[in-house]
Structure 1
Amino acid sequence: MITLASLMALPLAARADYPEKPITIVVPFSAGGPTDKVARDLAESLRKTLNATLVIENVGGAGGTLGATKVAKAAPDGYTVLLHHIGMATSPALYRNLQYKTLDDFEYLGLINEVPMTLVAKPTMAAANYGELAKWIAANKEKVNLANAGLGSASHLCGLLFQSTIKIDMTTVPYKGTGPAMTDLIGGQVDIMCDQTTNTSSQIEGGKIKAYAVTSTKRLGSPALAKLPTLDELGLKGFNVAIWHGLYAPKGTPKPVLDKLNAGLKKALQDPDLHKRQEALGAVIVQDGRVNPAEHKKFVTDEIAKWGVVIKAAGQYAD
């Protein structure tokens, strides 16, 4: 028998009237970046499906681990959640002193989207297609400057896999963010970069950089990228890199709250406006079983294993 005393003992968030106050979505990167954009787009739809106020809090630093740590240690009441990208799977290999356990300290709420990458180059690059670019890279090897947005960034990870796949080591040039990396690529200070469509689409469409391929297994439908072949069809069989985003709550969040959050997320992912906003950036909203907590967690578990091999082989770690 449920008594008044037992009801009062339940966490506030476990009551049927959840949510009663604003929900904070922690984004572990600075405002204006691609993950921040995903969070703000999703929040527009979640406000309707959860009938709640959503607040975005940017907690950048240490490759996204500071924001993730904050959520892992937050009260498990459903009012603080994390929106993170592929860094959830790569941080265990990249960082030796993580303040949380990726698979143990979070409740998995569902995957949101996948963002393919593009292989791009400075505007003065002479190569007219990927075949010519590959020959140029092979001829120059270590002289080739491969830019990335910093350790653990999407461009860093894609660059690692690209070098591993073609079995050529290049000179990697890390930057403190995508902005300065893209600025130097446009200016010709670096040669090539592999970065997500959310960062490259407008630059490609504006003719500011050259584009050679996408990293998805299928060609993309967005106007700026539709003509680009996949690296898989160009001969790098199985090459597939997508920067995915997922939603997480602190471990121990009551199941009724998790169920409401997951149900709200699933409904939000059906919002046509969200699809339009994300497709304009080359992102694809997830519509398969990974929107369910168990399959989301299994997916991240598999990604941890996949990227752990690549990162350890490269020997690039952070303290």
Structure 2
Amino acid sequence: MKPVVRLIAATVAALTLSSTAFAQAWPERPIKAVVPFAAGSATDTIGRAFALKMQEVLGQTIVVDNKPGASGLLGADAVAKAAPDGYTILIGTNSTNAALKSLMKKLPYDQDTAFAPVAYMGSVPLIMAVNNDVPVKTLKELVDLAKAKPGSINFASASTSQLVSTEMMAGMAGIQLTNVSYKSGPAAMTDLIGGVVQMFSADFAVMLPQVKAGKVRGLAVTSSKRSPAVPELPTVNEALGLKDYELIAYFAVFAPAGTPPDIVAKLNKAVNAAASSKEIQERFAGIGFAVEPGTPEDLAKRSVTETAKWAKAIKDAKIEPQ
């Protein structure tokens, strides 16, 4: 048996050395960053900016690959099933890495174990807005209109945060709204401006330029405090006299489970360098983007907390799994 034991030991040692050498040499070719939402979305805009800064640290090109659909599920699934070699990463969000577990009856991957947490990027609040022809000036007036004419108001959503933010507000306000699902935030915005839908709750990157241009009417922000980027808009809590409403969208980098720790550490360093850069912070200050560099372990803990938080929000909003 001794020769067999020695052979097994030698094989394990060889594999370990090989894995270490691979991690040390990485990256030797371009890295693909999958954005699970459409071009022009906040996830895409922020992901591309981070990719450019990360390239400077890693010394390799990062190619952004948009795979929108099913609230981020299609893109997340592609990364979950990719080789764990560090050459495919996910620009994840609360949709892909916290809420989908509660929104879907069955996922094509295990949300809790399919990914290796890399680094938290940051978060943004959302703005609730209506088409300019809707006869309301405040969120309270919108709620009153919905109560007076049940079922008369529909709203767009192209992501989990957009869906849950509106449904949670409606539930807390005691009204019923009709959801119209879209593949991308920009497409939903086009229909809000055109009057196809009456209401839309979206991140600052998608919504704020249209509010500032007067193409839609902003009613409230979904954060617990007013945003310096649009201080004239009250919070949902202020507008409706609530205490516990808050919903923000966040962004983080994940890799396929099994990605070598050394590679995860290098990716983490690159993400944190991007988050800490003055260029990134100044570029996205106007959309309320708050960065928070940290370790992979920090993101792992946050993912557990956020998954529980979104499960409660989805249940409270009475959203049935699809």
Fold match by TM threshold 0.5:
yes
Q: Secondary structure at 2:48's aligned position in 1?
A: helix
CA distance in 2, matches of 1:7, 1:317: 43
Q: Distance in 1 between matches of 2:59 and 2:187?
A: 39
* Alignment RMSD: 2.3
The partner residue of 1:164 within 167, 171, 188 is: 171
SS at match of 1:143: coil
1:309 matches 2:300 = no
Greater shift in the superposed pair: 275-284 or 249-258: 275-284
Q: Deviations over 1:54-91 (max 9, x none)?
A: 11112223322222122112221211111111112111
Please give the alpha-carbon distance, in whole angstroms, between the structure 2 residues aligned to 1:13 and 1:28. 28
Task: Give percent identity, aligned residues only.
Answer: 32
C-alpha displacement at 1:169, in angstroms?
1.4
Matched, 1:115 2:121: no
Correspondent of 2:32 among 24, 33, 36: 24
* Residue in 2 that maps onto 1:236: 242
Cα distance in structure 1, aligned partners of 2:23 and 2:199: 50
TM-score (norm 1): 0.89
CA distance in 2: counterparts of 1:83 and 1:273, whole angstroms: 19
Unaligned runs of 5+ in 2: 1-9
Q: What's 2:112 paired with?
A: 103
Quote how far apart the aligned CAs of 1:24 are: 1.3
CA, structure 1 residues 7+147, in 2 after alignment: closer, same or farther (shift >3 Å)? closer
What letter is aligned with 1:240?
Answer: E
SS at match of 1:93: helix
Q: Which residue of 2 aligns with 1:177?
A: 184
SS at match of 1:118: strand
Matching residue within 63, 68, 81 for 1:60:
68
> Do the aligned residues in 2 keep the contact of 1:117 with 1:243 (CA within 8 Å)?
yes
CA deviation string 1:99-151 (max 9, x = no partner): 211121211012111111111111123323333333223322322222223xx
Partner of 2:87: 79
Secondary structure of 1:55's partner? strand
Once the 2 structures are TM-superposed, how far is the Cα of residue 41 of structure 1 from its aligned partner? 0.8
Question: Partner residue of 2:297?
Answer: 294
Larger radius of gyration: 2
Question: Where does the alignment leave 5 or more consecutive residues of structure 1 unmatched?
Answer: none
CA deviation vs aligned residue, 1:251-294 (integer Å, no higher than 9, x gap) = 1111111111112211111111111222233322225xxx3222
Q: Which SS does the other structure have where 1:47 is aligned?
A: helix
CA shift, 1:43, in A, is 0.7
Q: Is the 8 A contact 1:41 1:277 kept in 2?
A: no
Q: 1:79 to 1:12 in 2, by over 3 A?
A: farther
* Residue pair 2:38, 2:184 contacting (<8 A) in 1 also: no
SS, match of residue 30 in structure 1:
coil
In the alignment, which residue of structure 2 is the partner of 1:48?
Answer: 56
Tell me which amino acid in the other structure corresponds to 2:30.
P
- For 1:188 and 1:7, the matched residues in 2 are separated by 60
Whole-Å Cα distance in 1 between the matches of residues 67 and 199 of structure 2? 29
TM-score normalised by the chain length of structure 2: 0.88
Higher helix share: 2
